[in-house]
Amino acid sequence: MTDAKLSPEEKRTLLALARQTLETILAGKAPARLAGDLPEALLQPRGAFVTLHRNGRLRGCIGTFVSTQPLASTIREMVVQAAFHDPRFPEVTAAELASIDLEISALTPLRPIASPDEVQVGRHGLYITQGRRSGVLLPQVATEYGWDRTQFLEHTCLKASLSPDAWQKGASLSVFEAEVFGERE
């Protein structure tokens, strides 16, 4: 996995690939194989999340922290998961396609932290685990809602179906960074 920055062209390629994958599946076809001439950065294994918004509202979001396949393949897989398998939403339909905006978060590897004081709002995403429960919030979520560090920690706990103060009571915390880009930029 890498935390190298993607170029503007690589970002455009990933967004186009995600859009094309979604359009192809909604047309009832199987996506074509990945092009053999993709930039090297898109062939490196890397975790990623794909978020779908419809008219500015969340419509699906699924991702993976660890991937053994190329970033381009991960993006294709995650757009399918976000559109058709996010349990919070019904499947995306062809009628919605024109109002769907795609956002990609290309991730750095997870890094366990010893203290919540290490969390930097706006820079870090959070992953919390306790027992069988886990939750994740991408770095941009805290910024979008104007949360401070404590609120970010509490909301990540709630996302994991834990008490809001679980981060103070033995839950494990990891951080990651994300290079976030979307079609609305």
The model's pTM is 0.85
Q: Which fold has domain 8-108?
A: Glycoprotein, Type 4 Pilin (3.30.700)
Between the two ends of the chain, the Cα-to-Cα distance in Å is 26
Q: What is the pLDDT of residues 106-136, one digit of tens each?
A: 998 899 999 999 999 999 999 999 999 999 9
100-107 sheet: strands from edge to edge = 57-64, 48-54, 100-107, 178-182
Q: Is 111-177 CATH 3.30.1130.10?
A: no
User: Sheet of 111-112: strands edge to edge?
Assistant: 111-112, 172-176, 125-130, 133-137
For 116, phi then psi, to 5°, come to -60, -20
Same fold yes or no, 8-108 and 111-177: no
Domain ranges of the chain: 8-108, 111-177
Q: What is the pLDDT of residues 47-89, one digit of tens each?
A: 999 999 999 899 999 999 888 899 999 999 999 999 999 999 9
- Does the pLDDT value for residue 4 go beyond 90? no
